[in-house]
Amino acid sequence: MEVRLAKPEETKQVQNLWNYCFYEEPQYLQWVFGSRYRAENTVVAVEKEQVTGALQLVLSALRLHDKIETCYYIAGVSVLAQSRGKGVASAMMAFAEQVAAERGVSILLLVPALGGYYERFGYVHCTSKEEYVFPVSLAAGYRFNGTTKCVEDATQILPIYETYAGYWDVSIARTQRDMEQIVQCFSAECHGGAYVFYQKCEAVSYLIYHVTPQEINVPECAYKNEAGAHAILQFLGSHSMQTEKVRLRLAPGDPLYTELYQTGVQRIVTPSYMAKKIGCTPVETFDYLGIDAGKRMELLGRQAGNQNNIYINLPQWY
């Protein structure tokens, strides 16, 4: 088995492997490998000229308190069924660390499909995913005195994200290009898109969503004030004739949960992102990220409690 960076001519094999493991919608898969995929950022395991394993290194950045640090998000770790149990994933993870270190990147992030695996490589859980599932009718009573528009330009929503993420000690630092890619990601999925909400010509909130007959799924939303939060809820309530329920993802400790704390709302909290500081122990990774420090977040005039998680709310590929 050879583990190395992918060659451009191996792109189709990597795409087929991704599809085999993750069952993506054709539109989404086409978008990923048409605009996001880079062979030079893809680690592959090869046996007899066949790609049997692959993972992606997606360049990103963390805002650690008052500084910005480059990191890699490891996405799409996949291995063919007949090659599993042979150390393929372990070899690719080790090579990914080597590549990152050679490029001067010392922080790695990932989202585990299953718990209990990546801990062996020194990764630690650094944030949770909080989802609220409720009948869409529960959002029908919210009102917003403003206007709603489709997101046409990332400059409309980047300032909202920066305000929102600023309430956490550690967050993903994004550029305008990052926001454009995220919007494009969900626009590539069936019945997906992004909306921005204005109050007196000021953009106060946005959401990214896709909708099915069963639910409207919101993997990311952000807002500047209470009016912006209510705009999001009103938008969700407007789908009461189209779908049955809402699945709304919020950053850990988001005070919007107080709006939703009522009968009929299911709160689901699961471990989400894991992180590793290359060359450090798990305890040293925690200390480096400052996860134990936290700070008190005030939003909408409510105390949300001490925050001790990284805020990460990203689509699966990003």
Condensed to tens digits (0 to 9), the pLDDT of residues 81-96 reads: 999 999 999 999 999 9
Is residue 149 located within the same domain as residue 17? no
Same domain, 53 and 8: yes
75 assigned to some structural domain: yes
Matching residue, tokens 């959401």: 207
pLDDT at residue number 293: 36
Residue 30 to residue 25: CA distance in whole angstroms: 9
- Give the domain range for residue 261: 129-269
Checking if the pLDDT of 291 tops 70, the result is no
Question: Chain-centre distance of CA 76, in angstroms?
Answer: 13
Q: Read off the pLDDT band of 188 (50, 70, 90).
A: low
Fill in the amino acid letter for 72: Y
Confidence label for 303 from pLDDT (cuts 50, 70 and 90): very low
pLDDT in tens, 31-76: 788 878 899 999 999 999 999 999 999 999 888 877 899 999 999 9
Pair (135, 265) in one structural domain: yes
Token couple for 190: 């069936």
Highest-pLDDT range among 99-108, 173-182, 271-280: 99-108
Q: How many C-beta atoms lie closer than 10 Å to residue 14's C-beta?
A: 23
Does 13 share its domain with 67?
A: yes
Q: Please tell me the predicted confidence (pLDDT) of residue 141.
A: 82
